[in-house]
C-alpha cells in the first residue's frame, strides 16, 4: 500500500508477519497515517488494525548501508533497553533486509506538548523527576551487556566526535553558513580542543542517549517513555542530563533546573556505586557547554540547510543559553568563545529569525 510520495510502500503482509512472530495477530488495516519525523530522515507510519495492536512502522529514509545500519541499531538497542527495564516502546518485530522496524504505538503526546500547556510547577517537577529517574535507568541499568557492536554511528562519545560534530558543527553550520562569519578567530580552535580535552576526561562508561530532551520523551498514561534511542552509545553521565535541563524547547526556570540537578545527584548516589557528586558537578559545565554547541549547530543546519523551519525559533534561545553558560566563572577559561558568543547574540538580536 502506498501512503504518499514521501513514504515507501507499506507491505502489510510483512508487517503482519513481524507482529505474528512477536505473538500478535494483526488483520484488517483501519488506517495508515504518516507521522512527523523532526530532524530524522527516517519514515514513520502509524498502522491501526481492526484486530491487533496499533503499531508504529519505522523504515529507513533510503537503502544505503549507513541507513540500514541505523535501523539495525534501533532494533538491537531498543530490545536491550526494553530488557533492562528502560521505559522505551516495545520492539514488536524487525526485518533485517529492509530495515523495517515495528514498534509499540505510544500515542502522540510528547513531553514538549505538555509543556506547551504550561502545567503547574509541581506537575512539571514531577514529570522531570520521572524523566531523570528514567535517564538514570538508561545510563546505569542498561550498561551491562549494552550492544556496543550494534552502534551505527560511533560506539563511544569521544574527543574526536566533540571536535568534529559539536564545536566543529557549531562553527560550520551556525557561525559560517548561517551567520556568514568566514574566519575562525585565532586561538578559538585551541579553546575548542581544551574544552574537548576536559569533557573527555569525565568517566564515560555509561549509556548515553545523546539527544535526551522533551521532544524525545513521550507521555503515555502519564508515564515517561523514551524514544529516538538508535544513536545511543557509551559516554559520560552529565551530557544527557544537560540536554534535558538546558533544553531550549522547554526553557525551564533556572531555579527549577538547579533543583532538578540536585535531585539527579541525590538519585545517582543511590544507583551508582562510588558516585562523587562534587566531581560530577565540576564536569557538568564542560559537558553542558559541548551539548550547547551541538544543538546550535543542529538548529542552524536543520533550519537553514534542510529547510525545517521549526528549528529556527530555537536558535536565539540556545545562543542566549550559551552566553549564560560562558558568563559563569568556569567560562573564563574560554575568553575567545565567550567573546564570539556575545557577538553572535548581538547579531541574532538584529536578525529576523
Residue 278 CB partners (closer than 8 Å, separation 6+)? none
| Count of helices and strands (H, E) across the chain | 12, 9
From CA 16, how far away is CA 25, in angstroms rounded? Answer: 7
Predicted confidence at residue 167, as pLDDT, reads 98
Predicted confidence at residue 174, as pLDDT, reads 97
Instruction: Give me the residues paired with residue 103 across strands.
Output: 56, 91
Predicted confidence at residue 11, as pLDDT, reads 64
Predicted confidence at residue 352, as pLDDT, reads 76
Predicted confidence at residue 22, as pLDDT, reads 66
User: Which cell is 161 given?
Assistant: 566526535
Predicted confidence at residue 3, as pLDDT, reads 43
User: Which cell is 53 given?
Assistant: 495492536
CATH level 2 (architecture), domain 12-104: 2-Layer Sandwich (3.30)
Predicted confidence at residue 12, as pLDDT, reads 64
Q: How far is CA 151 from CA 74, 93, 279, in A?
A: 9, 19, 28
Q: Which residues of 205-239 are buried (b: 16+ CB within 10 A; e: fewer)?
A: ebbbbbbbbbbbbbbeeeebbbbbbbbbbbbbbbb
Q: How far is CA 71 from CA 15, 126, 248, 254, in A?
A: 15, 33, 28, 37
**Secondary structure of residue 43 in the 3-state scheme:** strand
Task: Specify the DSSP element, H or E, that contains 49.
Answer: strand 43-51
For 111-349, CATH gives: 3.90.1200.10
Q: Which residue has the cell 557492536?
A: 149
> What is the DSSP-derived secondary structure letter of residue 173?
I
User: Which cell is 208 given?
Assistant: 548515553
Predicted confidence at residue 343, as pLDDT, reads 96
Predicted confidence at residue 183, as pLDDT, reads 82
Predicted confidence at residue 4, as pLDDT, reads 43
Strands 27-35 and 100-104: unpaired
Q: How far is CA 42 from CA 39, 74, 77, in A?
A: 9, 11, 17
Predicted confidence at residue 175, as pLDDT, reads 97
**What size, in residues, is the chain?**
353
From CA 103, how far away is CA 208, in angstroms rounded? Answer: 21
Low-confidence ranges of the chain (pLDDT < 50): 1-7
Would you list the domain boundaries of the chain?
12-104, 111-349
Predicted confidence at residue 54, as pLDDT, reads 82
pTM (predicted TM-score): 0.93
Q: For helices 254-271 and 121-136, what crossing angle results, to 10°?
A: 30
Predicted confidence at residue 5, as pLDDT, reads 47
Predicted confidence at residue 69, as pLDDT, reads 95
Instruction: Give me the residues paired with residue 38 across strands.
Output: none
Amino acid at each position: 500500500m502506498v501512503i504518499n510520495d514521501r513514504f515507501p510502500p507499506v507491505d502489510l503482509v510483512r508487517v503482519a508477519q513481524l507482529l505474528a512472530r512477536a505473538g500478535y495477530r494483526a488483520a484488517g488495516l483501519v488506517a495508515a497515517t504518516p507521522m512527523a519525523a523532526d530532524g530524522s530522515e527516517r519514515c514513520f507510519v502509524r498502522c491501526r488494525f481492526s484486530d491487533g495492536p496499533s503499531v508504529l512502522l519505522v523504515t529507513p529514509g533510503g537503502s544505503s548501508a549507513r541507513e540500514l545500519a541505523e535501523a539495525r541499531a534501533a532494533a538491537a538497542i531498543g530490545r536491550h533497553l526494553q530488557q533492562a527495564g528502560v521505559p522505551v516502546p516495545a520492539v514488536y518485530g524487525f526485518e533485517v533486509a529492509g530495515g523495517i522496524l515495528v514498534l509499540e504505538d505510544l500515542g502522540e503526546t510528547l513531553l514538549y506538548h505538555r509543556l506547551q500547556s504550561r502545567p503547574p510547577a509541581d506537575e512539571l517537577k514531577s514529570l522531570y523527576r520521572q524523566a531523570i529517574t528514567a535517564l538514570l535507568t538508561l545510563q546505569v541499568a542498561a550498561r551491562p551487556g549494552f550492544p556496543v557492536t550494534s552502534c551505527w554511528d560511533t560506539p563511544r562519545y569521544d574527543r574526536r566526535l566533540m571536535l568534529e560534530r559539536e564545536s566543529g558543527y557549531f562553527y560550520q553550520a551556525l557561525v559560517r553558513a548561517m551567520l556568514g562569519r568566514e574566519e575562525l578567530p585565532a586561538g578559538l580552535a585551541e579553546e575548542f580542543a581544551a574544552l574537548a580535552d576536559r569533557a573527555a576526561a569525565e568517566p564515560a562508561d555509561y549509556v548515553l542517549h545523546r539527544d535526551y530532551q522533551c521532544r524525545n520523551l513521550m507521555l503515555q498514561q502519564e508515564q515517561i517513555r523514551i524514544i529516538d534511542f538508535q544513536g545511543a552509545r557509551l559516554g559520560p553521565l552529565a551530557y544527557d542530563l544537560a540536554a534535558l535541563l538546558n533544553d531550549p524547547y522547554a526553557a525551564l526556570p533556572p531555579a527549577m533546573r538547579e533543583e532538578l540537578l540536585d535531585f539527579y545527584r541525590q538519585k545517582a548516589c543511590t544507583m551508582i556505586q562510588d558516585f562523587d557528586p562534587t566531581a560530577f558537578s565540576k564536569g557538568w559545565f564542560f559537558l553542558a557547554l559541548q551539548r550547547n554547541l551541538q544543538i546550535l549547530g543542529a538548529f542552524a543546519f536543520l533550519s537553514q540547510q534542510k529547510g525545517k523551519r521549526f528549528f529556527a525559533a530555537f536558535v536565539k534561545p540556545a545562543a542566549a543559553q550559551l552566553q549564560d553558560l560562558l558568563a559563569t566563572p568556569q567560562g573564563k577559561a574560554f575568553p575567545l568563545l565567550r567573546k564570539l558568543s556575545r557577538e553572535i547574540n548581538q547579531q541574532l538580536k538584529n536578525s529576523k529569525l
